Amino acid sequence: MKTLEQELASKIYIQVKAFGDEHPKESLERNKYGAMSYKLPILVRTAGLVQALSFVDSRGQPPHHKLLEHLAQVVVENDKKTFLDKSRKSDLQEYTYLTLKTMLALKWYKRFAQSVLEVVPTDEVQGD
Protein backbone atom coordinates (compact mmCIF):
# COMPACT_ATOMS: atom_id res chain seq x y z
CA MET A 1 0.00 0.00 0.00
CA LYS A 2 1.36 3.39 -1.01
CA THR A 3 1.11 6.56 1.01
CA LEU A 4 -0.73 9.58 -0.37
CA GLU A 5 2.65 11.29 -0.90
CA GLN A 6 3.93 8.32 -2.93
CA GLU A 7 0.80 8.23 -5.08
CA LEU A 8 0.96 11.95 -5.74
CA ALA A 9 4.68 11.88 -6.52
CA SER A 10 4.26 9.00 -8.95
CA LYS A 11 1.38 10.58 -10.89
CA ILE A 12 2.90 14.05 -10.90
CA TYR A 13 6.28 12.82 -12.10
CA ILE A 14 4.62 11.21 -15.13
CA GLN A 15 2.72 14.43 -15.92
CA VAL A 16 5.70 16.74 -15.54
CA LYS A 17 8.00 14.40 -17.48
CA ALA A 18 5.48 14.24 -20.34
CA PHE A 19 5.13 18.04 -20.34
CA GLY A 20 8.91 18.38 -20.40
CA ASP A 21 9.19 15.91 -23.27
CA GLU A 22 6.66 17.95 -25.28
CA HIS A 23 8.44 21.27 -24.73
CA PRO A 24 12.15 21.80 -25.40
CA LYS A 25 14.46 22.87 -22.62
CA GLU A 26 14.32 26.61 -21.92
CA SER A 27 11.12 27.03 -23.96
CA LEU A 28 8.72 29.72 -22.81
CA GLU A 29 5.96 27.16 -22.12
CA ARG A 30 8.23 25.05 -19.98
CA ASN A 31 9.41 28.07 -18.00
CA LYS A 32 5.86 29.36 -17.47
CA TYR A 33 4.66 25.95 -16.26
CA GLY A 34 7.61 25.73 -13.89
CA ALA A 35 7.29 29.30 -12.67
CA MET A 36 3.63 28.79 -11.83
CA SER A 37 4.56 25.58 -10.02
CA TYR A 38 6.71 27.74 -7.75
CA LYS A 39 4.14 30.54 -7.34
CA LEU A 40 0.92 28.59 -6.83
CA PRO A 41 1.65 27.24 -3.32
CA ILE A 42 2.31 30.79 -2.14
CA LEU A 43 -0.91 32.00 -3.78
CA VAL A 44 -2.91 29.25 -2.07
CA ARG A 45 -1.42 30.11 1.32
CA THR A 46 -1.94 33.85 0.98
CA ALA A 47 -5.23 34.09 -0.93
CA GLY A 48 -6.91 30.75 -0.32
CA LEU A 49 -7.59 27.81 -2.61
CA VAL A 50 -10.58 29.19 -4.53
CA GLN A 51 -8.97 32.54 -5.21
CA ALA A 52 -5.64 30.99 -6.25
CA LEU A 53 -7.23 28.48 -8.62
CA SER A 54 -9.49 31.15 -10.11
CA PHE A 55 -6.46 33.38 -10.65
CA VAL A 56 -4.58 30.65 -12.52
CA ASP A 57 -7.67 29.80 -14.55
CA SER A 58 -8.12 33.45 -15.53
CA ARG A 59 -4.52 33.85 -16.70
CA GLY A 60 -5.46 32.49 -20.10
CA GLN A 61 -2.00 31.07 -20.83
CA PRO A 62 -1.78 27.44 -22.00
CA PRO A 63 1.04 26.36 -19.60
CA HIS A 64 -0.94 27.66 -16.62
CA HIS A 65 -4.08 25.89 -17.79
CA LYS A 66 -2.08 22.69 -18.29
CA LEU A 67 -0.78 22.89 -14.72
CA LEU A 68 -4.34 23.38 -13.48
CA GLU A 69 -5.53 20.39 -15.55
CA HIS A 70 -2.71 18.26 -14.16
CA LEU A 71 -3.50 19.37 -10.62
CA ALA A 72 -7.18 18.50 -11.09
CA GLN A 73 -6.27 15.03 -12.35
CA VAL A 74 -4.28 14.18 -9.23
CA VAL A 75 -6.28 16.04 -6.56
CA VAL A 76 -9.88 15.26 -7.54
CA GLU A 77 -9.14 12.68 -10.25
CA ASN A 78 -11.31 14.64 -12.65
CA ASP A 79 -11.14 17.63 -14.98
CA LYS A 80 -10.33 21.28 -14.32
CA LYS A 81 -13.99 22.36 -14.28
CA THR A 82 -14.87 19.79 -11.61
CA PHE A 83 -11.87 20.84 -9.54
CA LEU A 84 -12.84 24.51 -9.70
CA ASP A 85 -16.47 23.69 -8.87
CA LYS A 86 -15.45 21.54 -5.90
CA SER A 87 -13.20 24.27 -4.55
CA ARG A 88 -16.09 26.75 -4.70
CA LYS A 89 -18.93 24.54 -3.47
CA SER A 90 -17.38 22.28 -0.82
CA ASP A 91 -18.29 22.49 2.83
CA LEU A 92 -15.58 23.48 5.30
CA GLN A 93 -14.32 19.97 6.01
CA GLU A 94 -14.07 19.00 2.34
CA TYR A 95 -12.55 22.39 1.45
CA THR A 96 -9.89 21.95 4.13
CA TYR A 97 -9.02 18.47 2.84
CA LEU A 98 -8.99 19.74 -0.76
CA THR A 99 -6.60 22.51 0.24
CA LEU A 100 -4.33 20.09 2.10
CA LYS A 101 -4.21 17.62 -0.78
CA THR A 102 -3.60 20.46 -3.25
CA MET A 103 -0.69 21.75 -1.17
CA LEU A 104 0.83 18.26 -0.96
CA ALA A 105 0.53 17.93 -4.73
CA LEU A 106 1.98 21.38 -5.37
CA LYS A 107 5.04 20.47 -3.35
CA TRP A 108 5.75 17.72 -5.92
CA TYR A 109 5.04 19.95 -8.91
CA LYS A 110 7.52 22.43 -7.52
CA ARG A 111 10.17 19.75 -6.92
CA PHE A 112 9.73 18.22 -10.36
CA ALA A 113 9.73 21.64 -12.03
CA GLN A 114 13.19 22.04 -10.59
CA SER A 115 14.53 18.52 -11.15
CA VAL A 116 12.75 17.37 -14.33
CA LEU A 117 12.02 20.63 -16.14
CA GLU A 118 15.18 22.25 -14.76
CA VAL A 119 13.36 25.53 -14.09
CA VAL A 120 15.20 27.70 -11.59
CA PRO A 121 13.02 29.68 -9.16
CA THR A 122 14.83 32.89 -10.06
CA ASP A 123 14.13 32.52 -13.80
CA GLU A 124 12.32 35.58 -15.08
CA VAL A 125 9.52 34.65 -17.45
CA GLN A 126 8.38 37.27 -19.94
CA GLY A 127 4.63 37.84 -20.00
CA ASP A 128 4.03 36.01 -16.73
The domain that holds 10 is classified in CATH as 1.10.520.30
Residue 105 forms part of a structural domain: yes
The ranges of the chain with pLDDT < 70 are: 122-128
User: 74-95 burial string, b = 16+ CB within 10 Å, else e?
Assistant: bbbeeebeebbebbeebeeeeb
How many domains in the chain?
A: 1
What is the reported pTM? 0.92
Q: How far apart are CA 67 and CA 65, in angstroms?
A: 5
pLDDT of residue 60: 73
pLDDT of residue 120: 87
pLDDT of residue 122: 67
Residue 126 forms part of a structural domain: no
Residue 124 forms part of a structural domain: no
Residue 123 forms part of a structural domain: no
DSSP 49-105: HHHHHHHHHHT--HHHHHHHHHHHHHHTSS-HHHHHHHHHH--HHHHHHHHHHHHHH
Residue 29 forms part of a structural domain: yes
Residue 35 forms part of a structural domain: yes
pLDDT tens string 68-97: 999 999 999 999 999 999 999 999 999 999
Q: Output DSSP code: residue 1.
A: -
Segments forming the whole domain that contains residue 30: 4-115
